[in-house]
Amino acid sequence: MNPSPLSERASGVLLHPTSLPGPHGHGDLGPAAHRFAGFLASAGQSWWQMLPLGPPGAGNSPYDSPSTFAGSPGLVSLEQLAADGLLEPGEIAPTRGLQGKRARYGAAARYRLPRLEQAHDRFRVSAPKRDKRAFEAFREEQRSWLDDYALYQALKSAEGGAPWYEWQADLVARRPAALRRARRRLADGIAFQEFVQYQFDRQWRALQRRCRELGIRLLGDVPIYVAHDGADVWAHRELFHVDRAGRRRVVAGVPPDAFSATGQLWGNPLYRWSALDKSGYAWWIARLALTLSRFDAVRLDHFIGFRRYWEVKAGARTAQRGRFVQVPGERFLTAVESALHGLPFVAEDLGIMTDEVRTLRDRYGLPGMRVLQFAFDDAGPNDYQPHRYPRHAVAYTGTHDNDTAVGWFNERAPRGDRKRARELSERRRRVRDYLGSDGREIHWDMIRAALMSVAGTSVFPMQDLLGLGSAARMNTPGTSRDNWSWRVEQAALAPDVAERMAALCEIYERTPERGRSGR
């Protein structure tokens, strides 16, 4: 079994590529990504954590992708395509509408698509033979998922964006003759989708090589569930609780708790774990293997769902009425460990933990997550206080679902809500007392507390290194406006920020050299 890359004492930064600077509506895998890798190295960091890389789904969420295998076309750098001779510099001059400080996904997609098509046309006509051979090799290597994904996207475009379960019945049922006819009819659109995935792969591998040169490891993220309207469910309907027409029978959610009286209704189709088990978990293993070819370690989203999940009938308006269903987590992780020769995963074990989930996590030696913001809601001791962290854990000030450290600390109650105002005031007092802080640089005080803990790895949202407020929050769960759109400005990635972070990592033995010797 290979040793986990998370076994060394280290530090990292959480920043999704769409949050990078860049001229075309949101960040991508181009020059700004390579510059950010250099910033991380100068800051003494060992990890760059990202959100899922797939095509974004509803509300631009990377956690609701139409494919768990494909890379997002929006992350393909037009600048790099121009450097490769597939676009002219004048063809990628950005317009004013793409120059905002927030990601503009719609405008970016409208700008990028015709340029990707132009690059594809030029590639077909004039690419050197070695590049075409590399493209064919990529198609062959990734055929197990690429064929279905490219056809799905081409069909979806031809069907005016309609979900797959509203297509013609023979396509919904994936009758072989219908699929053959569709492949012939949509050959050009399929080839374009394959080309985009090839370019994503080339650009990702280049960024991956640069990170390795700098000593930066990459930490990815795998959502537990997949989008209903996506290539995975369409191509592998037998693995999901959907009927012959593609309709969901039951859906995923979270039961009512202290945060929501009606629970959370996610709506994703649920797995047929018996069918997955019968196949030896082949689909999951292929999914994780591809992700680990891109990343050095992976965060398993909603790890609780590998022990049990909350099942709600399709069509329900809330998640109040449902039931817990057990999952063969041990059989699943044993199969994955055998196939991948190790489990380089972080268990996202946030939420209502049970002894069963803890046992599953610990049996397979997976580090859990410790979020510092969760340490101060109550007066008594809890597992999120840094002095109680285990060595085998990943410490965070916050995640992509939290407010920034500054925004969280400065939270104010709604007008007239005296009870909440007292609670927040008391929380701020507990934070100041615990951290020995006056609150003026609460973000650095929280970073320092996580760095000095015994947790093997610590990771911080880029917003917290910069001390940004709530306007820089990445996502607010349960809402659909203004999420996933924060971007860092190039000028903010300044030497003084890197130097301060590097100095703290040196003190607490989290620089790459000190981290290895510290073990």
Would you place residue 429 in the very low, low, confident or very high pLDDT band (cuts 50, 70, 90)? very high
Q: Would you say residue 515 has pLDDT above 70?
A: no
Pairing of strands 308-313, 323-326: antiparallel
pLDDT digits (tens, 9 = 90+) for 45-89: 999 999 999 999 999 999 999 999 999 999 999 999 999 999 999
Eight-class DSSP state of 274: H
> Is the separation of the CB atoms in 246 and 172 below 8 Å?
yes
| 152 φ/ψ angles, rounded to the nearest 5 degrees | -55, -50
* Residue 480 dihedral angles phi and psi, to the nearest 5°: -125, 0
Nearest to 293 by CA among 363, 239, 218: 218
* Residues 229, 163: Cα–Cα separation, whole Å: 6
For residue 330, give the amino acid letter.
E
In one-letter notation, the amino acid at residue 47 is: W
- pLDDT tens-digit profile of 302-358? 999 999 999 999 999 999 999 999 999 999 999 999 999 999 999 999 988 899 999
Q: Which residue has the higher pLDDT, 20 or 381?
A: 20
User: pLDDT (tens digit, 9 = 90+) per residue, 199-250?
Assistant: 999 999 999 999 999 999 999 999 999 999 999 999 999 999 999 999 999 9
C-alpha 6/C-alpha 456 separation (Å) is 7
pLDDT (0 to 100) of residue 380: 81
Place of tokens 């064929």: 147
Q: Which of 117, 170, 401, 482 is catalytic?
A: 401
Residue 119 Cα distances to 83, 152, 192, angstroms: 12, 21, 10
Active-site pick, 148, 301, 349, 509: 301
Percent of the chain with pLDDT over 70: 98
Instruction: Return the beta strands (E) in 215-352 as ranges.
Output: 217-222, 250-254, 264-269, 297-300, 308-313, 323-326, 345-347
Distance from C-alpha of 510 to C-alpha of 518, rounded to nearest angstrom: 8
Q: How far apart are CA 166 and CA 324, in angstroms?
A: 30
DSSP state of 251: E
Q: Average pLDDT, stretch 377-390?
A: 91
What would the two tokens of residue 445 be? 């005080």
Please report the pLDDT score of residue 258 as a whole number: 65
**Phi, then psi, of 14 in degrees rounded to 5:** -95, 115
Q: Tokens 């797939």 identify what position?
A: 54
If DSSP states are collapsed to H, E and C, what string results for 163-181? CHHHCCHHHHCCCHHHHHH
Question: With contact defined as beta carbons under 8 Å apart, do 226 and 237 qualify?
Answer: no
Name 501's Cβ contacts closer than 8 Å, sequence gap at least 6.
Answer: 11, 43, 44, 45, 447, 465
CA neighbor of 46 nearest in space, from 487, 493, 451, 474? 451
Note the pLDDT tens digit of each residue in 103-137.
999 999 999 999 999 999 999 999 999 999 999 99
What's the CA gap between 18 and 53, in Å, rounded? 10
Q: Is 296 a known active-site residue?
A: no
Tens-digit pLDDT profile for residues 85-101: 999 999 999 787 787 88
- Tell me what the mean pLDDT of segment 184-211 comes to: 98
State the burial class of residue 180 (Cβ atoms within 10 Å of its Cβ: 0-12, 13-18, 19+). Answer: exposed
* Element housing 147 (H / E): helix 143-158
Helices (DSSP H) in 160-272: which residue ranges?
A: 169-172, 176-185, 187-214, 231-235
| pLDDT of amino acid 3 | 65
Is the separation of the CB atoms in 214 and 36 below 8 Å? no
- Residue closest to 289 by CA, chosen among 237, 345, 234, 233: 345
Residue 48 CA to residue 137 CA, distance in Å, equals 29
Is 148 known to be catalytic? no
Query: What is the pLDDT, as a whole number, of residue 256?
Result: 86
Say if residue 259's pLDDT is above 70: no
Element (H, E) at 48: strand 47-49
| Alpha carbon distances (Å) from 489 to 27, 379, 466, 493 | 11, 38, 11, 7
441 pLDDT above the threshold of 90: yes
Per-residue tokens: 40 = 């991380």
Which residue out of 232, 348, 349, 509 is catalytically annotated? 348
Task: Identify whether the C-beta of residue 491 lies closer than 8 Å to the C-beta of residue 514.
Answer: no
CB 371 within 8 A of CB 461: no
Q: How far apart are CA 202 and CA 224, in angstroms?
A: 26
pLDDT of 519 strictly over 70 = no
- CA–CA gap between residue 456 and residue 469 (Å, rounded): 28
348 catalytically annotated: yes
**In this predicted structure, what is the pLDDT of residue 518?**
47
End-to-end Cα separation, the chain, in angstroms = 19
CA distance 15 to 38: 14
pLDDT at position 169 is 97
